[in-house]
Amino acid sequence: MKLALRELRRQPGRFAAAGMILTLIALLLMFLGGLLDGLIRSSTGAVRALDADVLVFSSSAENAFLRSRVEPALRATVDAVDGVEQTAGIGVLQLGARMPDSGPRELLDIALFGTELPPRSDGALPAEGEVLADESLRQRGVTEGMVLELGPGRSPVTVVGFTTDTSYLGQAALWTGPQTWREVLGENRPDQLLGPDVFQALLVRLTPGSDAAAVAERIDEATGAATASLTVVAAADTLPGVQEQQATFNQIIGVTVTIAIVVVALFFALLTIERAGLYGVLKAIGAESRSLFGGLVLQAVVLTTLSCSIAAVAAVGLDLAIPPGSVPLRISALRLITSLVYLLVAAVVGCAFSLRRVLRVDPASAIGSSS
Amino acid sequence: MNEQDEFDGDRFDGDESVDHAPAPDQAPALIMEKARKVYPMADSEVVALDDADIVVEADEMVALVGPSGSGKTTLCSIAGGILSPTSGRVVVGGVDISTFGPKQLTRVRRELVGFVFQSVNLVPFLTARENLLVVDELGRRTGAPARRRADQLLEELGLADRAKNLPGQLSGGQRQRVAIGRALMNDPKLVLFDEPTSALDTKLGMAVMELIRDEMKSRGIAAIVVTHDERITQFCDRSVHMEDGKVL
């Protein structure tokens, strides 16, 4: 093992090519992972921010706010279910928002949430005609006290504060009470206007100690399957495009890890071939195949860790260099560590291809080479 | 004797000696009786070593001479625990290794035998001192005693001021001396020299052989020197000739 580390230290040039390729692969992996995290975050932020345990849609809505309708009678049934402490109506409306003095085509994509419960990070709902805005809008020039005009009806709302991580399907969320939401809905989408006390969905808070999944099942039973209830965590995953994004990126990440395995396997296979003579000598003087292979794995692990460290610094730098809001990149410590773990596994698996070659090195090759 | 038991203890000391073997300190470094090595081919077999008998005493230096393909390397490999004989008996430093498996033979090489290879074969990225310490690192590490022994060997071999030099910074003769030091690190019963002068010019070759003889004799360690060169034999106690796998 000491021998392997000394070789790394004294002959770094020998490992430079593999280290550089591994660094680029690690950076690619971290960038892809960061993009996935950023996309998922910008899709699900608003749902994850809901201060509730269960989200109730009408059964025909396929978990989509726009298709869902919850009448007061249905809400009363949900209120009566064991484990339900409180219900709150919620609805969403996707519109373009115009800042003061901006051109007619300079629109911000927003999702206006009308809810009876404020999002998790804030204590109270704003008053009528006021909204809390997602933090990302600040980078687009929205400031506290600014009046935004929503939709073709140019419904005015005043920004009175900001919330973090509340994007919805890539659009910044605005949070307001049910009354303002209904007014904006009526002024801009009269065809979607709902009756008094009718909401698109219900937020449900549970009594302490209740199991969210179990309560969700009980709600659907109580309503005779007129509702489709799911936990807020599950609701985030069922948002349109989220699973497709995850599947696509995970496949790309899988292919990248496979490439890393091939790179490590090829590099260390070549190194093993090159070292066959040295391994023969070391075996002849008493080295075991196990320790030689262990040294190889150690070199791969150290090389991968170094490459990942450089890539992590580069990824963080990239994250800082990219202007906020332009690319949905989110570099988190968890993603960097996950990428390192993937590549460490790839390094060990890649090395395993050289195991047979190390075992096959014959100590007899060290002796009598010319006789 | 239960072979496994031998490996549960510490270093081989020769006390696992075969029946009727002399006391360890006088035991021959090598006893080969009817040692045979046969390689099966498609529909025949090749006899690389043909019932070889040889005894090398504890402080004896033997030149093994013969043409290419005569079986010198095979005999050397079996004596050094690199190969197992197909049949026959092999005792190294009082330990019968005839039936040892690969793992046990690895330990034999680590503890009982020293090797000096034809092309020296030092680890290129290690200093002279570290090349000696590799032997300790391959087995159960002893740490400080090994470091002291390496320093002492380098001093005795006239390499104290070259301890921190990489092999590439040493002359051919100095590299050969480092290789000798490495072979002596484990305090072996038998050192096998494989054509130790073939890569050196005549003058240096003779100087190296003198050094080998002096080192082996001063330490009372047995040695087998495989060579094509008859001039080498003058430095050894006796010569053993081989031909067609037989010891003549």
Q: How far is A287 from chain B (nearest CA, A)?
A: 5
ipTM attached to this prediction: 0.84
- Which residue type sits at A230? L
Question: What's the CA gap between A177 and A191, in Å, rounded?
Answer: 20
CA dihedral B19, B24, B25, B28 (to 10 degrees): 50
pLDDT tens digit sequence for B15-53: 443 333 444 556 899 999 999 999 988 888 889 999 999
% of chain B residues with pLDDT over 90 = 54
pLDDT at A155: 94
Q: How far is B214 from chain A (nearest CA, A)?
A: 23
pLDDT at B166: 94
pLDDT at B32: 94
> Is the pLDDT confidence value at B147 over 50?
yes
Residues of B in contact with A278 (CB under 8 A): 121, 123-124
Question: What's the CA gap between A33 and A339, in Å, rounded?
Answer: 8
pLDDT at A369: 52
Output A182 or B121, whichever has higher pLDDT. Answer: A182
Average pLDDT estimate for B226-234: 86
The domain spans of chain A are 2-44+242-370, 54-209
Q: In a mutagenesis test of the A interface, which of B37, B121, B190 is the best target, namely the one with the most A β-carbons within 10 Å?
A: B121
Residue A270 contacts by C-beta under 8 Å, 6 or more apart in sequence? none
Determine whether the interchain pair A366/B115 forms a contact, defined as Cβ–Cβ distance below 8 Å: yes
Q: Is B118 on the interface with A (CB under 8 A)?
A: yes
Residues of A in contact with B192 (CB under 8 A): 367
Sheet containing B45-56, strands listed edge to edge, beginning at the edge strand earlier in sequence: B45-56, B30-40, B87-92, B95-96
Determine whether the interchain pair B138/A11 forms a contact, defined as Cβ–Cβ distance below 8 Å: no
Q: How far is A341 from chain B (nearest CA, A)?
A: 30
Average pLDDT estimate for A217-244: 91
Average pLDDT estimate for A228-254: 91
Output B120 or A228, whichever has higher pLDDT. Answer: A228
Determine whether the interchain pair A284/B226 forms a contact, defined as Cβ–Cβ distance below 8 Å: no
Residues of B in contact with A370 (CB under 8 A): 118, 195, 198
Is A178 in a helix, a strand, or coil?
helix
Residue B2 contacts by C-beta under 8 Å, 6 or more apart in sequence? none
CA dihedral A69, A184, A238, A53 (to 10 degrees): -80
Q: Is A6 on the interface with B (CB under 8 A)?
A: yes
> Is the pLDDT confidence value at B65 over 70?
yes
> Is the pLDDT confidence value at B1 over 70?
no
Q: Is B136 on the interface with A (CB under 8 A)?
A: no
Q: Provide the 10 A C-beta neighbour count for residue A205.
A: 15
Indicate left, alpha or beta for A86 from its phi (over 0: left) and psi (-120 to 50: alpha): beta
Residues of B in contact with A276 (CB under 8 A): none
Determine whether the interchain pair B226/A368 forms a contact, defined as Cβ–Cβ distance below 8 Å: yes
Average pLDDT estimate for B170-182: 90
> Is the pLDDT confidence value at A301 over 60?
yes
- Residue A126 belongs to what H/E stretch? none
Residues of A in contact with B111 (CB under 8 A): 286
Average pLDDT estimate for B140-157: 88
pLDDT tens digit sequence for A97-147: 999 988 777 899 999 999 999 887 557 889 999 999 999 899 889 999 999
Q: Is A291 on the interface with B (CB under 8 A)?
A: yes
Q: Is B172 on the interface with A (CB under 8 A)?
A: no
Output A75 or B68, whichever has higher pLDDT. Answer: A75
Q: Is B197 on the interface with A (CB under 8 A)?
A: no
% of chain A residues with pLDDT over 70 = 98
Residues of B in contact with A287 (CB under 8 A): 106, 138
Q: What is the mean pLDDT of chain A?
A: 90
Q: Is A298 on the interface with B (CB under 8 A)?
A: no
Evaluate whether A172 touches A108 at the Cβ level (below 8 Å): yes
Residue of B nearest to A368 (CA): B73
Q: How far is A212 from chain B (nearest CA, A)?
A: 58
Q: Is B64 on the interface with A (CB under 8 A)?
A: no
Determine whether the interchain pair A284/B82 forms a contact, defined as Cβ–Cβ distance below 8 Å: yes
The first and second tokens of residue A237, run together, are 């995953």
pLDDT at A122: 59
> Is the pLDDT confidence value at B13 over 60?
no
> Is the pLDDT confidence value at B200 over 80?
no
pLDDT tens digit sequence for A8-46: 999 999 999 999 999 999 999 999 999 999 999 889 999
- Residue B22 belongs to what H/E stretch? none
Determine whether the interchain pair B198/A364 forms a contact, defined as Cβ–Cβ distance below 8 Å: no
pTM here is 0.80
Q: Is B76 on the interface with A (CB under 8 A)?
A: yes
Question: What's the CA gap between A312 and A336, in Å, rounded?
Answer: 6
- At B8, the pLDDT band (50, 70, 90 cuts) reads very low
Average pLDDT estimate for A312-339: 90
Q: Is A286 on the interface with B (CB under 8 A)?
A: yes
pLDDT at B207: 86
* Separation in Å, CA B138 to CA A10, B62, B127, B130, B193: 20, 28, 16, 12, 21
> Is the pLDDT confidence value at B118 over 90?
no
Q: Is A278 on the interface with B (CB under 8 A)?
A: yes
Is A80 in a helix, a strand, or coil?
coil
Residues of A in contact with B123 (CB under 8 A): 3, 278, 281-282
